[in-house]
C-alpha cells in the first residue's frame, strides 16, 4: 500500500534546490499548497493577483525524485484578517507533464470534517536541515473564529517549523486530508500550526 507522503511535493525557491515549503497532489496534475509558500518561492510578498511565474518542485518519496515545473492555476491570496467561510492563503498548481505522462503516486483525498477536536494527524514537511523530509505526529484541537484549526505537535515530536507550510494534514483514520497546513503561530512559547477550518473540498479548488 502506498504511503500518503508519496503525494507530497517539495517546492523550491526559484533558481535553487532549497525547499521553502510543501504541497500535495489532489488530481492527476494538480498540487495544492499555500499562497504564502508560492510567495516565498518567488521571493515576493503580498501578491494579490494570480502570479504567472513558473515554480519548480519534486516528489522526494518517489524513486529518483522526479522534478517538474508548475504554474498557478487558482489563487486565493493571504488575508490579514481571515473570515470564517472565506478561503484564503491557497494556491492550486498545475504540473507541466509530458503527453500521456502519469505520476507514480495517487492523489490524496480531501475530506469534510464536522468536528476537529482530538483528531490524530500525520504531517510531513521540510524544515531547515531536513531537506529529505520529516514526519511529525500531531493533534487537531479546536476551530477558532477565523475558521482555522489549531494543531499541536504531540509532546514527543518537537515543534512544527517553517518548511511544513502547505503540506497535507493527513488523518489516517479518515484515509484523507483535513486540509493544507498554514502559518506558524506561537502559543505560550510553543510552535503550533493552523489549517483551514473545513479542510479544502475539491469543489473549491478545481
Q: Which of 84, 24, 94, 82 is nearest to 53 (CA)?
A: 94
Q: What is the topology classification, in CATH, of domain 4-95?
A: Thrombin, subunit H (2.40.10)
CATH 2.40.10.10 domain extents, the chain: 4-95, 119-205
Q: Which residues pair with 69 in a beta bridge?
A: 56
Q: Which of 27, 25, 30, 26 is nearest to 70 (CA)?
A: 30
* Mean pLDDT of all residues in 3-28: 95
pLDDT > 90? residue 54: yes
pLDDT tens for each residue of 172-181: 888 899 888 8
* Mean pLDDT of all residues in 151-162: 80
Please tell me the predicted confidence (pLDDT) of residue 194.
47
pLDDT tens for each residue of 81-133: 777 777 788 999 999 999 989 999 999 998 877 777 888 999 999 988 899 99
Any alpha helices (H) in the chain, and if so which ranges?
35-42, 202-205
44: how many CB neighbours lie within 10 A of its CB?
A: 12
On average, the pLDDT of the chain sits at 84
Please give the residue that has the higher pLDDT: either 194 or 167: 167
The answer to whether domain 119-205 has CATH 3.40.190.10 is no
Amino acid at each position: 500500500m502506498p504511503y500518503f507522503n508519496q503525494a507530497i511535493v517539495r517546492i523550491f525557491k526559484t533558481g535553487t534546490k532549497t525547499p521553502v515549503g510543501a504541497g500535495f497532489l489532489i488530481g492527476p496534475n494538480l498540487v495544492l499548497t499555500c499562497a504564502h509558500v508560492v510567495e516565498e518561492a518567488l521571493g515576493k510578498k503580498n501578491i494579490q493577483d494570480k502570479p504567472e511565474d513558473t515554480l519548480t518542485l519534486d516528489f522526494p518519496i518517489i524513486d529518483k525524485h522526479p522534478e517538474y515545473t508548475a504554474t498557478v492555476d487558482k489563487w486565493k491570496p493571504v488575508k490579514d484578517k481571515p473570515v470564517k467561510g472565506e478561503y484564503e492563503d491557497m494556491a492550486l498548481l498545475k504540473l507541466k507533464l509530458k503527453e500521456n505522462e502519469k505520476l507514480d503516486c495517487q492523489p490524496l483525498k480531501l475530506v469534510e470534517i464536522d468536528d476537529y477536536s482530538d483528531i490524530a494527524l500525520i504531517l510531513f514537511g521540510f524544515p531547515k536541515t531536513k531537506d529529505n523530509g520529516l514526519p511529525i505526529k500531531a493533534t487537531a484541537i479546536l476551530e477558532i473564529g477565523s475558521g482555522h484549526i489549531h494543531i499541536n505537535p504531540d509532546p514527543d515530536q518537537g515543534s512544527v517549523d517553517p518548511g511544513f507550510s502547505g503540506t497535507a494534514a493527513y488523518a489516517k483514520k479518515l484515509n484523507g486530508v483535513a486540509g493544507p497546513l498554514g502559518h506558524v503561530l506561537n502559543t505560550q512559547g510553543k510552535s503550533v500550526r493552523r489549517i483551514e477550518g473545513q479542510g479544502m473540498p475539491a469543489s473549491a479548488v478545481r
